[in-house]
Structure 1
Amino acid sequence: MGGEIVLIMLGVLLLMILLGVHIGVGLALCSGVGVYIMFRGNTEAALSIMSNTAFEAIRKDVFAVIPLFVLMGDFIWRSGAAGDLYRICDRALRRLPGRLAIATIAGNTVFAAVTGVSIASAAAFSRIAYPEMMKLGYKQTFALGAVAGSACLGMLIPPSVLLIVWAVLTELSVGALFIAGILPGLMLALLFSAYVIAAAVMNPRIAPAYEEPLTQPTPAEKRSELIGGLGILSLIVIVIGGIWLGWFTPTEAAAFGVIAALVIGITKGMRGADILESMYQAGRTTAPIMFLLIAAQMYSRLLALGGGVNYIQGMFSDSDLSPTMVILLMTAIWLILGMLIDSVSIILLTVPIFAPIAVAMGYDPIAFAIFGILVIEAGLLSPPFGLLVYTVRGSVPDPTATLKKIFIGSFPYFVLILVAAFIVLLIPQLATLLPGALI
């Protein structure tokens, strides 16, 4: 009976989402009603279970990682260090075809290592890279695609909010998932770069060749770029290196990262108003995520009490679907949901069900986590929701940059993300090698 109640509540939840109900509200309501029905109308027992679940969820110290990493990324963005990083990458890659697009990818790869969300990368490089590409005659869809597509790296390369949420829901190590995202993230960046080079070689008109600039950076500009570039590299060493070498827990690394980012920001000219605005923005970004996580813990409790995972797993077993077909079905569900809701909500809705099923079929939990993040990442570029596409549209200072053009330009990146996802699934060592060395 419990499994049937879980399925009914899941159906009600999907209906509520389609009707426009906020997913956090839907998760909480369906979880509460489901537990109430399981306890045969005992209101006191249902409320006790739900309230205790919410309390236990929010008191976990791992949740401190989310606002800290978001704040660290905002400090770096407001300091102007992202622009310094882009200009350094541009000069270093000047001889490659499509160098500005590759510099955008390289900049996003490094910037992803100091911010937990792709939106920050999309917003920053929309204002930095897109005008430069258009100034030199890049095809508009090609330039927009490079900005939107490469911003997806922020959700895979650590520190990533999506990896943190996945770790919380599956009780995996946040540090292990962080380290697991490094090689797949670099592989994805190389795939993006290979596409840009191939496209620029096949059709030079979309990305004009490099020309020596008429003016060289002044000593003051070079000094500013050096501070920004070295500052970001030092942050990567502190955060990722500290976790990998066992010096810090992810929470401690996030705290040290915030302090280092604040020092970089002040050195680059940030003052009190900018610092306060970064703190407010971190709060605005984090609060909805925390609410969703509380609701997701209630949802997980409903699944546990009703035996929902075992019930759904039994349905898959009885259907005689091969593991490959089950994975393809999961992929299809993730991509469809990516057209409707945001990435965090997709993880909260599906991972408590999908992750145990994948492990039962023999997939490594860490490799499956990276696979799932990549597929869900692709949803950031899929119409009609395409969160990153809308972010780029709102950030690009060009009214002719329509949603249609951004979707067209980012489609090759959408395909490459899915290619990378299945490579990780076929070669799980890409995700498990570095965490194994960490352990």
Structure 2
Amino acid sequence: MEWYWTLTVLLGSILVMMAIGFPVGIAFLAVNIVAAMIYFGGNGPILTQLELGIGTLADNAFGSMANFALVPIPMFLLMGELFFHTGLANRMFSGVERLMGRVPARLSYVTVAGGTAFATLSGSSMGSTALLGTLMVPEMSRRGYKNVLSIGPILGTGGIAMLIPPSALAVLLGTLAELDIGALLIAGVVPGLLLAAMYAVLIYGITRLDPDAAPAYPVDIAPWTERAIILLRDVLPMVSVVIAVILLIMVGWATPSEAAAFGCLGVLVLAIAFRSLTLTAIWKSLEGATRVTVVALLIIFGSATFSKTLAFSGGSAGLITWVTGFDISPMVMLGVMFLILLLLGMFMDQLSMMLLTVPIFFPLAQSFGFDMIWFAVIVLLAMEISFTTPPFGLLLFVMQGVAPPGTKFTDICLAALPFMGCAMLLVLLIVVFPEIATWLPSVSRP
């Protein structure tokens, strides 16, 4: 079978199964089993082909899953779950709000600042959006904030979870693409902070153009001594955990797995210090982290054989040869892959997108001479933007579920657009100035 028919049958079968309601992991597993029978099962009886095919599938999959580089995923997830269920997240948000004083649109800035910190600790875009939507939107709506300054910042900061470490999705992407996990985690720091700063500038610009977007209201100003106490007690301890995790990886004192374990320990120590660590919080944290970890491992299980099947069948090599045979500039190809990710994000979650695109996109990117870490950061940004792309971005539906009654879906979509524009601008800046993503990894961990 020609490579293009192989690629069409494999991808088409997966998409059809997903369209009729099969979970993405089951769809990939079923197609992988059939493909393994055909390509790895030989020409014997059907049962022999099935046995050989499943044996090859298991060997490839379990070899990929027994990878020490995957350890940060459950650890980062547990870290975020503990941060949320122990109440440390609420304590940090309340502290940031008290520190803002009478700044116009202060709650929007609190959302960006607190949301960025929580996103880094949780590593979950949907979890961050759900928490911020529940905590902040009702209060901002009561204060008369327009949707662009109440819902918009939440949708924007939810995506930062993919960039700033600790990011479980960055670890998963690096594992699937066989990249340096530590370098990829560090590469997201500058783009993530830059994106948060762009959101703050956007909020300032909106309030200058439309003061009614965030009406002023009386605020009790805490004295400077109380602000110092709030900063030292409620904000810095939580932020210091993130900074410590990043520095441990940067200076090479710990692997990403060891840094993730340190982060979990740090959150546990803080929860004990604030007397908020309960058996219920521990159980809920373990349950939440386990649920997402199992899904991630199922994704890896399917991806391992899917990549090898594409390679063995000639699908990957044929596609790369075909694409590189055209007189297409690398930037045009980058734009095509970026648009495909945006389109897929309207219908799929990030894990499904990774499973479908990594085996194809990263070999293509390598053939065009892209820096793999730089390309991976752009892929993460594309996935972030696709999460809020109307009309089917998943974060839009999460926000719809936690928004105050009467909030229209169209209003949520319109509120997301300016913040999507900031993320698109950041992608353009990274393309023009690759050092935004590559400088920090190059100066750390020689």
Normalised TM-score (structure 1): 0.93
Q: Where does 1:309-320 land on structure 2 (aligned, <5 Å)?
A: 309-320=316-327
Residue 296 (structure 2) aligned to one of 267, 286, 289: 289
Separation in 1 of the partners of 2:441 and 2:331? 25
Partner of 1:25: 26
Provide, for residues 270-296 of structure 1, a one-character-per-residue CA deviation record: whole Å limited to 9, x for no partner: 311111111111112221121111111
Q: 1:31–1:298: 8 Å Cα contact kept in structure 2? A: yes
Equivalent of 2:245 in 231, 239, 246? 239
Equivalent residue for 1:264?
Answer: 270
Amino acid at match of 1:360: S
Letter in 2 for 1:408: L
Relative distance call for 1:393 and 1:35 in structure 2 (3 A) is same
Q: Is 1:74 matched up with 2:81?
A: yes
Point out the more displaced range, 51-60 or 111-120: 111-120
Which residue matches 1:362? 369
Change (3 A) 1:402 1:222: farther
Post-superposition offset of 1:204: 0.5
Contact kept, 8 Å, 2:346 with 2:389, in 1: the verdict is yes
8 Å CA contact 1:6, 1:34 repeated in 2: no
* Cα distance in structure 1, aligned partners of 2:443 and 2:348: 36
2:65 is the alignment partner of 1:64: no
Match of residue 416, structure 2, among 401, 410, 413: 410
Indicate whether 1:150 and 2:151 are aligned.
Answer: no
Q: In the aligned structure 2, how far is the partner of 1:181 from the partner of 1:407?
A: 26
CA deviation map 1:408-429 (0-9, x unaligned): 2111112221221222122111
**1:172: Cα distance to partner?**
0.7
Matched, 1:393 2:400: yes
The CA distance in 1 between the partners of 2:190 and 2:227, in whole Å, is 33
Letter in 2 for 1:43: L
- Give ranges in structure 2 of 5+ residues lacking alignment: 44-48
Q: How far apart, in 2, do the equivalents of 1:171 and 1:140 lie?
A: 41
| 2:219 alignment partner in structure 1 | 212
CA contact (8 A) 1:81 1:225 kept: no
In 2, Cα distance between equivalents of 1:228 and 1:96 = 20
What letter corresponds to residue 353 of structure 2 in structure 1?
Answer: I
> Which of 109, 118, 121 is equivalent to 1:114?
121
1:345 equivalent in structure 2: 352
* 2:99/2:231 contact within 8 Å kept: no
Q: Is the 8 A contact 2:184 2:373 kept in 1?
A: yes
* 1:224 Cα deviation from its structure 2 partner: 7.1
**Using a 3 Å threshold, how does the CA distance of structure 1 residues 227 and 119 change in structure 2: closer, same or farther?**
farther
Q: CA deviation at 1:261?
A: 0.7
Aligned position for 2:3? 3
Question: What residue in structure 2 maps to residue 46 of structure 1?
Answer: 53
Of 285, 289, 312, which residue of structure 2 is paired with 1:305?
Answer: 312
Aligned counterparts of 1:98 and 1:363: Cα–Cα separation in 2: 41
SS of 2:165's equivalent in the other structure is: coil
- What is the distance in 2 between the residues matched to 1:264 and 1:157? 21
Task: Number of aligned residue pairs: give it.
Answer: 437
Report the equivalent of 1:98. Answer: 105
Give, in whole Å, the separation in 2 of the partners of 1:341 and 1:423: 26
Are the counterparts in 2 of residues 71 and 282 from structure 1 also a CA contact under 8 Å? yes
In the aligned structure 1, how far is the partner of 2:95 from the partner of 2:313? 55
Tell me, yes or no, if the aligned pair for 2:76 and 2:264 is still in contact at 8 Å: yes
Give the Cα–Cα distance (whole angstroms) in 1 for the partners of residues 387 and 163 of structure 2.
12
Q: Is the 8 A contact 1:82 1:124 kept in 2?
A: no
CA deviation after TM superposition for structure 1 residue 223, in Å: 6.0
Counterpart code for 1:3? W
Decide which moves more: 265-274 or 289-298. 265-274
> 1:56: how far off?
0.6
The answer to whether the Cα contact below 8 Å between 2:133 and 2:402 also exists between their aligned partners in 1 is: yes
The alpha-carbon deviation at position 313 of structure 1 amounts to 0.9
Please give the per-residue CA displacement for 1:344-368, whole angstroms capped at 9, x wherever unaligned.
1101110121112112212211111
Q: Secondary structure at the match of 2:71?
A: helix
Q: Which moved more, 1:298-307 or 1:160-169?
A: 298-307
Cα pair 1:6 1:302 within 8 Å, conserved: no
Measure, in 2, the Cα distance between the counterparts of 1:293 and 1:77.
Answer: 27
CA distance in 2, matches of 1:307, 1:415: 39
Q: 2:3 is matched by which residue type in structure 1?
A: G
Q: 1:326 aligns with which of 330, 333, 352?
A: 333
Q: Secondary structure at the match of 2:327?
A: coil
Whole-angstrom CA distance in 1 between matches of 2:332 and 2:244: 42
Task: Please say if 1:36 is aligned against 2:42.
Answer: no
| Corresponding residue for residue 46 of structure 2 | none
Name the CA distance, whole Å, in 1 between partners of 2:197 and 2:151: 18
Deviations 1:140-171 (A, max 9, x none): 34311111222111111111122111110111
> TM-score, length-normalised on structure 2?
0.91
Identity of aligned residues (%): 33
CA distance in 2, matches of 1:436, 1:17: 40
Task: Give the conservation status (yes or no) of the 8 Å contact 1:79–1:264.
Answer: no
Offset at 1:382? 1.6
The answer to whether the 8 Å contact 1:292/1:345 transfers is yes
Moved more, 341-350 or 265-274: 265-274
Listed one character per residue, the Cα deviations across residues 100-153 of structure 1 (whole Å, up to 9, x for unaligned) are 212211112222222221122112222222233223221134311111222111
How much does 1:68 deviate?
Answer: 0.9
What is the alpha-carbon root mean square deviation over aligned residues? 2.3
Moved more, 253-262 or 40-49: 40-49
